[in-house]
Amino acid sequence: MFFSTKSAVIVGITPLLVNVEVDVNLRSVKRDINIVGLPDTAVKESKQRILSAFKNSNISMPDGLITVNLAPGDVKKEGTFLDLAIALAILGAAKYVPPFNSVVVGELGLDGTIKKVKGVLPILLELQDNSTTFIIPFDNIPEASATKSRFSAFKSLYEAVQSLKSGQIQEFTFEKEEEIHQEIDVDFSDIRGHMVPKRALEVAASGGHNVLMVGPPGTGKTMFARRFPTILPPMTEKEIIETSKIYSAVGLLDSKLIKNRPFRSPHHTSSAVAIIGGGSNVRPGEVTLAHNGVLFLDELPEFRRDVLEALREPLEDGIVTVSRSKATHVFPANLQLIAAMNPCPCGYYGDKEIACKCSPYEIKRYWKNISGPILDRIDIQIQVPRVSYEEMRGKVPQTGSETSYQIRERVLRARERQLSRYKDEKIKINAKLTHKMVERYVRLTDRAEEILKLYAHKYKLSGRAIDKILKVSRTIADLNNEEIVDEKAVSEALQYRLNYLEIDFVI
């Protein structure tokens, strides 16, 4: 007796359609389940889960030798996605349930309950068409309801079997949820003083630029980073779906869609695999989890050099390519990098209040992990100095102490100018301009051109660094509601670069 149904597994973050084929050999005196088709340990262990689920659901296991094939057979199947599909296919081969045409995913508990699995959202989005229906765990309904797929959801194996036997499978339909505005517990108005860093982060949010903040301990670098998402534009529907698919695939989607921009802050001891992605069972890293959001790297020089060098591709191209002998995985990584660091190991080089205790050699070693190519890929590099006691305690009148909402309004207007300008291009923000686009869209006044030329000669800037300055200048002009980039915009952009070439012992 033969029966076939469809299921799916997640490979990296991409769904793979799996044909679950079951053959029951009634002539065999041996009663067992053999699973073939490159199953991993979790798939092989589904045999015990299915046997217990059948017993505790009062369902008889067919006599004979049961062979389960998971096609395609040359791709490794991982996870517990296939439990329910295998169980229903066995019952279909035994004529216990009628034929059905659905993609089935779900994990079985020993008591016959159907447990929630990760990756339901990308599976439904990637495999849906006009004729495809799905059978999923009841607990996966919230994320499945974000799609236009037709699906049925069950709490137990017994419930699913009875529904298939009766031929009355209830499909779920959902109305779009009303938008709920979440209260944000951090705001830019919390930060006192620091007018230059605030302006720099406003520019960064407006043009999608990466930022490096350098300053002594406790000056507010982490505060700035954690408040940065509050001035970014709200996520579009496409970005919400993209981000939610990633979090669903790795099992981090609790119930509803991700509607706030991700903020990832990995520890500086993280490995290259944890940050970039990969491993024996290929998984996305922090750069992919920060897709459409912010990746915050605190204590930047403390990260391993190979980790920082691996950031080149995602910062430049917005993707991560992980190559293995049998497959190549491409993960999205369109993020904004916010990095923070001390100027030296003790943290007080250049501080006006506390003397630095580091030798030139120690400072040089401290900066050695951060290569020139990485610094070139960071558009805005600013110092975050110490705040005086009077500013901290509110003894000095605060000028320009704006809320995140007020700053975001200006950011949104600047983004609208960019959307209008690049309506015929693939890119939507200034940070993504190619060299040809920079030449086409960034027009300087004669005075601005002369200032940039003198600066480039003095500090021996690379071609990429010059393009970065032009992109930041374009964003500043957008914030100033100007189409031509004048000397004020260029001069401000030049302030957002740390010129450590002037310090002979720092790389």
Match 């930022």 to its residue by tokens. Answer: 211
- Between the CA atoms of 167, 140, 125 and 15, what dihedral angle is there, to the nearest 10 degrees? -100
Name the burial class of residue 361, with classes exposed (0-12), middle (13-18) and buried (19+) by CB atoms within 10 angstroms of its CB: exposed
Q: Tell me the backbone φ, ψ of residue 356, rounded to 5 degrees.
A: -75, 140
Q: Where are the domains of the chain?
A: 2-166, 188-502
Listed in sequence order, the residues at least 6 apart from 241 whose beta carbon sits closer than 8 Å to its beta carbon are 125, 146, 257
CA 68/CA 92 separation, integer angstroms: 12
CATH among 3.20.20.70, 3.40.640.10, 3.90.1300.10, 3.30.230.10 for 2-166: 3.30.230.10
Q: How far apart are the first and last CA of the chain?
A: 72
- To which residue do tokens 């995140």 refer? 404
- What residue has token string 């030329």? 453
Q: Provide the token pair at 312.
A: 């080149």
CA angle, 491 then 493 then 494, to 5°: 65
Give the homologous superfamily in CATH for domain 188-502: P-loop containing nucleotide triphosphate hydrolases (3.40.50.300)
Strand spans (E) along 226-327: 263-264, 277-278, 283-284, 294-297, 319-323
Cβ distance 95 to 51 under 8 Å? Answer: no
Q: Which of 386, 21, 422 is nearest to 194 (CA)?
A: 386
Omega prior to 229 cis, within 30 of 0: no
**Pairwise CA distance, residues 61 & 26, whole Å:** 12
Reading the chain (507 residues) residue by residue, the pLDDT tens digits are 899 999 999 998 999 999 999 999 877 777 889 999 999 999 999 999 999 999 999 998 888 899 999 999 988 899 999 999 999 999 999 999 999 989 999 999 999 999 999 999 999 999 988 678 999 999 999 888 888 888 999 999 999 999 998 877 767 655 455 544 455 678 898 888 888 999 999 999 999 999 999 999 989 999 999 999 999 999 999 999 999 999 999 999 887 789 999 999 999 999 999 999 988 888 999 999 999 999 999 999 999 999 999 999 999 899 999 888 778 889 999 999 999 999 999 999 988 889 999 998 999 889 888 888 888 889 999 999 988 777 777 655 555 578 999 999 999 999 999 999 999 999 999 999 999 999 999 999 999 999 999 999 988 888 888 999 999 999 999 999 999 999 999 999 999 987 643 444 343
Q: Which residues contact 423 (CB under 8 A, 6 or more apart)?
A: none
CA atoms within 13 A on the CB side of 58: 3
